[in-house]
Amino acid sequence: MTITVMGWVFLLIIVFAASAGRAHDAGTGAVITVAIGFLVWMISVWLTPFRRCRTCNGTGRSNGLLSTWATRQCPRCGGSGRHRRYFVTTVFGDKMTCGEARAKKARTRRNRPRL
């Protein structure tokens, strides 16, 4: 579960008010707020590294240009319906994040034959 946009704003306002009040300095409060915001963002990217594909709206299928009733595999996401979020590769490289490991485990579990 990711923090919504307003959740981010409220969290950072609370952190700034608490740190500025405790340190009696707005500059120190701002630095602490930026550090806490970065850590929360890193945890969010680690847990949920994917976002919905904007080309196909997460369906994995695209409509044809001339024959709009025909669908094909989305060229952007390759039919998966999702992309890695921005800066995931920059921060974590090619290592598999926690969310990707969960998705890989779920894919293998889904294809297991039923007894």
CA–CA distance, 19 with 13 (Å, rounded to integer) = 10
Q: How far is CA 44 from CA 40, 41, 66, 86, 94, in A?
A: 6, 5, 40, 12, 17
CA–CA distance, 93 with 87 (Å, rounded to integer) = 9
- CB-side exposure of 41: number of CA atoms within 13 Å? 16
**3-state SS assignment for residue 52:** strand
The pLDDT value recorded for residue 110 is 59
Could you read off the pLDDT of 47-94 as tens digits, one per residue? 888 888 888 888 888 887 777 778 888 888 777 888 888 777 777 777
The pLDDT value recorded for residue 93 is 75
The pLDDT value recorded for residue 109 is 65
